[in-house]
Structure 1
Amino acid sequence: MFTGAGGLALGLHGAGFRHRLAVEFYTRACESLRNNGAKDCPDLKAAADAIPTADASWPLVEGPVQDVDFTPFLNKVTLLAGGVPCQPWSIAGKKQDIEEKIGGERNLWPEMFRVAHETRPKVIIAENVVGLTRPSFKGYYDYILDGLSLPHEIRGNDEDWRIHHARLRKRLNDDGVPDDERYVVRAATLNAADFGVPQIRKRLFIVAYRADLGIDGWVPPSPSHSQASLVNDLIEGGYWKRHQIEPRIEVTADLTPTLPDERKAWRTVRDALCDPVDLVEPGVDTPIGLVEPKLNRKPSSGPAHHVGWPGARPYRGHQPSDLDWPSKTIKAGVHGVAGGELTVNDRLGRYRYLTVREVARLMTFPDDWTFDGTRGPQMRQLGNAVPVDLARAIGDSVRIQLRPDEARDDGAEVAGDRGIV
């Protein structure tokens, strides 16, 4: 659900799950999915009956999730996954009322409950902004957790969420609820930088296991990367040697050595721009050293979407991401984003906007993944996405708990004859 440009879906595919259905409302995101191999799904029953494979196209439904009947997928789904639209909860959003009436267009958590009820998956993964856990939203956050615990306790058409929540709480205290009718729900806030994503991006993940699986709650993945390792790498010089550049005093002078850490170093913006292949600096019209290099909108050599965007201007409260640190959180915007999340002082010393391809690397999309639309819609898709490598870490943690004795190679069919919605 809420597939967007495919970050969560691609990461879960990398973890070995195979997709039965992708549902997305935004036309540009749907075109991006088609550009990368998704196919329109005219027959939900046929999609439900098909056996998904590693090389199969993702079946795609474009339109409101409210209009999709998921009952053909009953008992045919291992994992229900989705990054529920976050506008009501985001600090950057308008903080509208949670619910004035059932079925509000901006709040789609009730749809998550409905799809879980109609499909009865073994596992549910939901992603959202950390703002959902703020004290002002505590009542509704608790309702979300309880709604995922008992998705078969259906909310009435005219029932206020608070009344529904009271029924859920009463039912949760009833020891007579069968294990196949309830879920064990756990939540954790994770920083994408701790999992190899070159971006400081904290997000909330809620994972629910059907109780009859006998799994006593989700165990979040252990971080593979750390800030401490990056700090030590910068101070000791290994980072600068690896990039074949002189140390930047303004980075190293304010860093304090820490205890050794066996985890890998956080990946930086510079790491992302150089790996897997070095992205040339965009928009260089003249040789470096003759005159100041100017930024233009001509496509640079290499992967698609690496096009310069002139006009960035630094000002108070709009600082760029540092080349030698993970980027700031990428948000769904282009100009005027608070905090300068889409700007950088590049390797030529220019203050400029990041290109779409550079932002895609900060979200750990592969270089051959393309995005539909002009720069604005492309950035919107990226800002709303789940970083691919973080999604894969979440998927791996779920797969390990589902099948702890199964060794996995990248080509393994770990989801068997079931898949993901």
Structure 2
Amino acid sequence: MIDQAEHSSEAGTSVELFAGGGGLAMAVHEAGFRHLLLNEFAPKACETLLANQATPWLGETHIPRQRGEKWPLKGGPVQDLEFAHLRDKVSLLAGGPPCQPFSLGGDHKGHEDERNMFPEFFRALREIQPRAFICENVRGLLRPSFRPYFDYILNELRMPFVEREGSVWEEHNEKLKGLVGIEPADHDERARRYVVSAIPVNAADYGVPQVRHRVIIVGFRMDVYAHIGDELWEEKFKPRRTHSEAALFQQLRDVKSEYWKRHKPVPKHVKQRVAASVPSVDENDEGLTLQPWRTLRDAIMGDPTRDEKPLPQDGLIDYEQHPKCVVPNHIGWPGARIYPGHTPNLLDRPAKTVKAGVHGVPGGESVVLLDDGTHRYMTVRETARVMTFPDTWVPGRNVRRGDQMRQLGNAVPVLLGKRFATAVADALRYADSVAAENDGEKEAA
């Protein structure tokens, strides 16, 4: 499933909660971490994980010693997990606590929703005390109605050892706010606190062929962060956007650009139509210095650097006449419709956000408009490409299409997750080098 040769230098160990279909788990692995434990509640998602790089959890004594080993997966409620055996063994805790309480598709119940799993993430932090963590979630957390609770989440991440004892969250938050500004008394307390950074992102800005707005929270244990500092994190390690809408628009407006050369043959009238639909770009737009946003057409064509080949497009509209496919999970599906409020994806833009709401995948969000004016559903493989899952990823054998799409919609795009996991890995390596240098100076003295 994953190129084991990549990042042969191990960055550390990791634990993944709420693993879903495996997007963030793949990202963390590709960044150089060795998974000690994965957890996922949904049985169908567990089937998918086991069909790829995971293996059933065999107990506390079974800990992978090399990154090439399969990832131990313990299915079931995260509330049933015990973490004591992992204390002082974990470099990175990663996960995206279920986002339905805060998403547009989840009824907006927020912190009052029983599906809010942030308290379990806090417990894992408290009991494992990893050197760093990555937490991904929906941008809805930043909406004004949820912002006070989001600030409370950040305070809990900063001081997870201060447990909430029956009080309402507002009272607990006041207690946390009173402690955050107090300097830690000693090294032991610094080793329990975290320096936290919340970063709003659009996945398209990081090379993902999809407009996907999320917030990624990165934290470092305070004793580790002392060797990094705000300036280095901001200027050297914190991921910056690499792609822009402006750069894409500039290429789309020029029918002789590299974009159109890359996508031969596209009918001339299609190129002209697309070029006419794109707004002009300010020549001073700093986004022009970046790479163009990747589009749905790019995703279908594939990325040669990831060993991706163009996905066949014949026979995908009429599923009944073409029930078999050469590429795994690249099968047409009937019934695609376009209607008000559900406009299709356009080939020469990043795909819309792949969704997995409580009512399933909305119709228009997974429909694509083709060059000839017809439309169809995107295949599972195309959707996986949009999520930057490798072509070696496969859903579980007994997982139906609806659940496959739901797993993808709930996932973290692999390339986005990898950018942040790599940043954390690089920062941890730097912190280790500084600590070793300081220890050497002390010995010399």
TM over 0.5: yes
The CA RMSD over aligned residues, in Å, is 2.2
What is the CA distance between 1:248 and its match in structure 2?
2.7
1:145-184 paired onto structure 2 within 5 Å: 145-156=154-165, 158-177=166-185, 178-184=189-195
TM-superposition CA deviations, 1:44-97 (whole Å, max 9, x none): 2433xx43x221100100000000001110011000000110011011211125
Alignment-derived partner of residue 7 in structure 2:
none
- Aligned pair 1:193/2:204, yes or no? yes
- Aligned pair 1:382/2:408, yes or no? yes
The 3 A distance-change label for structure 1 pair 368 and 336 is: closer
The 3 A distance-change label for structure 1 pair 294 and 301 is: closer
Partners of 1:387 and 1:251 in 2: how far apart?
Answer: 27
- Aligned pair 1:24/2:34, yes or no? no
How many matched pairs? 391
**Contact 1:282–1:299 at 8 Å: present in 2 too?**
no
1:168-317 paired onto structure 2 within 5 Å: 168-177=176-185, 178-213=189-224, 214=226, 215-217=228-230, 218-219=233-234, 220-236=238-254, 237-238=256-257, 239-244=259-264, 245=266, 246=268, 247-255=270-278, 256-259=280-283, 261-275=288-302, 276-281=308-313, 283=315, 294-296=318-320, 298-317=322-341
Partners of 2:372 and 2:40 in 1: how far apart?
Answer: 39
Alignment-derived partner of residue 398 in structure 1:
424
- The letter of the residue matching 1:110 is P
Partners of 1:151 and 1:196 in 2: how far apart?
Answer: 33
Secondary structure at 1:208 match in 2: strand
- The letter of the residue matching 2:275 is T
Partners of 2:153 and 2:404 in 1: how far apart?
Answer: 30
The 3 A distance-change label for structure 1 pair 350 and 223 is: same
Partners of 2:147 and 2:395 in 1: how far apart?
Answer: 36
The 3 A distance-change label for structure 1 pair 339 and 378 is: closer
What is the CA distance between 1:16 and its match in structure 2?
0.9
**Contact 2:39–2:78 at 8 Å: present in 1 too?**
yes
The answer to which structure has the higher helix fraction is 2
Q: Which runs of 5+ in 2 are unaligned?
A: 1-16, 303-307, 434-445
- The letter of the residue matching 1:66 is Q
The structure, 1 or 2, with the larger RCO (C-alpha pairs under 8 Å, 6+ apart) is: 1
TM-superposition CA deviations, 1:10-42 (whole Å, max 9, x none): 011111111111000011111111000311113
- Aligned pair 1:12/2:28, yes or no? yes
Percent same amino acid at aligned positions? Answer: 45
Q: Which runs of 5+ in 1 are unaligned?
A: 285-292, 408-421
TM-score (norm 2): 0.83
